[in-house]
Amino acid sequence: MSKESIIIFDTTLRDGEQSPGASMNTQEKIQIASQLEKLGVDVIEAGFAAASPGDFDAINKIAQKIKNSTVCSLARALDRDIKSAGEAIAPAPKKRIHTFIATSPIHMEYKLKMKPNEVIAQAVRAVEYAKSFVDDVEFSLEDAGRSDMEFMKEIIDATVSAGAKTINIPDTVGILLPDEVGSRIAELKAFIGDRAIISVHNHNDLGLAVANSLSAINNGARQIECTINGLGERAGNAALEEIVMALKIRQDIFNSVETKINTKEIYPTSRLIASITGIEPQPNKAIVGKNAFAHESGIHQDGVLKNKRTYEIFSPEDIGLDLNNTLVLGKHSGRAAFKDKLEQLGFTLSEDKLNEAFKRFKELADKKKDIYDDDLRALVTSQMTNIQKSWELVALQLMDSTGGVPSAAITIKKSNDSVITDAGIGDGTIDAIFKTIDRITGYQGLLKDYKVKSVSQGKDALANVTVQVQFNDDEPAVIGHGLSVDTMFASAKAYLGALNSYISMEGMLKRRNEGEECNV
């Protein structure tokens, strides 16, 4: 029996980016989109083109790069949003506009201040206008979870007649239970038939987003909107990795459907998103959490040693995780071994990028005896995400702060190759470093968050520092990453990384249609 395909619509770059503190720069978004393509997602929602020039630019660049997945932009049911979406995705071989309007009584009355018949007219107009840019148009009924069934049927009928090919039924506030989702989707499926694909977009406010998505599949939904690591507005969206693995592991139940996801890319994708956003999945997170394969109790360990299947329903390799985090390379490893190892980890680099990575690897091997998979992953990811280098750290010297005033002397190279050295003091060592960087570069950053994490084991472990810095009151904070065996050096690099990221998007971060709120 041939199986029906479940369309995996990934919205990590749009709804996921709405997670507090998850904003990403254009290079990072391109990197993520390429990894999502490799993972095998059908649709990449690359952003919300009308939200800001930065969002538009990122979607447009993704549209130029991605060949196998459909590239999609969100748009409110407004001409200017739809035009912007249509223009941003134009270069993509496969493209979609996703337009939406709220349909629940509370949203229509208080947010939109519109009558139901006006909402239907605007939705139809939006779909028709979107069709003038692309054939593939998706229409979403925002807050469908609290919308009236009969009204939903009316607006669905009108928008499908206007040309919408996918109808998305979001539980925007994450209020529904699996049985409710199931019966609503079954009723809508009976109503729509084969005129359009039914999609769901479940938020996780009650921790039910994945269960609700699976229930929707059982009742006729054929597109699932989801994010890597369950990122997203508030409590997040349904986690892609959980849905895909549930469908795969429980083929006894879901025997008539399948996805195109290459599950071996799940773990590398999860790590990439975590390292770019600085948002680590909780340790006990299903599938990709640090403890997902950790067996603590003696009885469990004994069972797993005898037969893994006693306590493991799938193996780490199924999601592309090598639990041994094998000790891979050392100072004397050659370029060929290095290249080979990167390929095993899923990184295929151009000659130039490989040479740069190999140079960084050799520098690291001088300071760190053993280099593990996670070190290499962090090394390559940080190289890929810190592409824009307006300012580069050359040297950092700290004065002993014990009993004295914490101070830092820093040398930084500008992209025009001029080198500047200056020194400054601060309330603590980190403060001294960041203030000195501000003095040299002329930017004033406000530190919003600072995290340090060791990449692998050992006293000489690499420190991975993530900072969130705001450089302008009117603009969102940006993220920077720094990697070094020295935590202070990593901190300085992270701060400069945030500044470089900010500079690469300067002027494009300005929010959202002259102050209008475009987050959804």
Helices 26-39 and 266-277, packing angle to 10 deg:
170
Can you tell me which residue has the tokens 């302008």? 472
Residue nearer to Zn ion on the CB measure, 233 or 475:
233
- Which range binds Zn ion by CB under 5 A, 9-17, 134-142, 408-416, 456-464? 9-17
Judged by CB under 6 A, does residue 520 bind ligand KIV? yes
Q: DSSP for 379-403?
A: HHHHHHH----SEEEEEEEEE--TT
Which residues pair with residue 467 across a beta bridge?
A: 450, 480
Judged by CB under 6 A, does residue 201 bind ligand KIV? yes
- Which range binds ligand KIV by CB under 6 A, 166-174, 406-414, 431-439, 486-494? 166-174
Judged by CB under 6 A, does residue 172 bind ligand KIV? yes
Residue nearer to Zn ion on the CB measure, 444 or 519:
519
Judged by CB under 5 A, does residue 15 bind Zn ion? yes
Closest by Cα among 154, 239, 278 to 247? 239
Tokens of 366: 């001088």
Judged by CB under 5 A, does residue 475 bind Zn ion? no
Residue nearer to ligand KIV on the CB measure, 72 or 357:
72
Residue nearer to Zn ion on the CB measure, 19 or 429:
19
Chain positions 231 to 290 lying near ligand KIV, rule: CB under 6 A, are: none
- Which range binds ligand KIV by CB under 6 A, 86-94, 167-175, 187-195, 390-398? 167-175
* Whole-number Cα distances in Å, 383 to 235, 375, 379: 30, 12, 6
Asked if 226 contacts 11 with a C-beta cutoff of 8 angstroms, the reply is yes
Q: Name the minimum Å distance from CB 232 to Zn ion.
A: 6
Q: Determine which helix (DSSP H) or strand (DSSP E) holds 424, and give its type and residue range.
A: strand 419-425
For 149-258, where are the E strands, in sequence order? 166-171, 197-202, 223-226, 257-258
199 binds, among ligand KIV, Zn ion, none (CB under 5 to 8 A by kind): none
Judged by CB under 6 A, does residue 100 bind ligand KIV? yes
Residue nearer to ligand KIV on the CB measure, 199 or 504:
199
CA 188 to centroid of chain Cα atoms: 30
Residue nearer to Zn ion on the CB measure, 100 or 502:
100
Q: DSSP for 56-91?
A: HHHHHHHHHH--SSEEEEEEESSHHHHHHHHHHHTT
Please provide residue 262's backbone torsions phi and psi, each rounded to the nearest 5 degrees.
-85, 100
100 binds, among Zn ion, ligand KIV, none (CB under 5 to 8 A by kind): ligand KIV
Judged by CB under 6 A, does residue 170 bind ligand KIV? yes
Asked if 71 contacts 100 with a C-beta cutoff of 8 angstroms, the reply is no
- Which range binds ligand KIV by CB under 6 A, 164-172, 438-446, 458-466, 468-476? 164-172
Q: How many residues bind ligand KIV (CB under 6 A)?
A: 11
213 binds, among Zn ion, ligand KIV, none (CB under 5 to 8 A by kind): none
Q: Name the minimum Å distance from CB 170 to ligand KIV.
A: 3
Q: Name the minimum Å distance from CB 27 to ligand KIV.
A: 25
Q: How far apart are CA 266 and CA 227, in angstroms?
A: 12
Q: Name the minimum Å distance from CB 55 to Zn ion.
A: 16
- Which range binds ligand KIV by CB under 6 A, 107-115, 165-173, 207-215, 342-350? 165-173
Tokens of 408: 């830092």
For 265-418, where are the E strands, in sequence order? 327-329, 371-372, 391-399, 407-414
Judged by CB under 6 A, does residue 15 bind ligand KIV? yes
Exposure pattern of 117-146 as b/e (b: 16+ CB <10 Å)?
Answer: eebbebbbbbbebbbebbebbbbbbbbbbb
Number of H helices, E strands in the chain: 17, 18
Residue nearer to ligand KIV on the CB measure, 203 or 481:
203
45 binds, among ligand KIV, Zn ion, none (CB under 5 to 8 A by kind): none
Residue nearer to Zn ion on the CB measure, 143 or 374:
143
Q: Name the minimum Å distance from CB 186 to ligand KIV.
A: 21
| Binding residue (CB under 6 A) for ligand KIV from 84, 99, 140, 436 | 140
DSSP 144: G
Q: How far apart are CA 508 and CA 53, in angstroms?
A: 5
Can you tell me which residue has the tokens 């067996």? 295
Residue nearer to ligand KIV on the CB measure, 200 or 463:
200
Chain positions 203 to 232 lying near ligand KIV, rule: CB under 6 A, are: 203
Give the amino acid at 57. D
| Binding residue (CB under 6 A) for ligand KIV from 42, 57, 81, 142 | 142
Residues lying near Zn ion in the complex (CB under 5 A): 15
| Residues found near ligand KIV in the complex (CB under 6 A) | 15, 74, 100, 140, 142, 168, 170, 172, 201, 203, 520
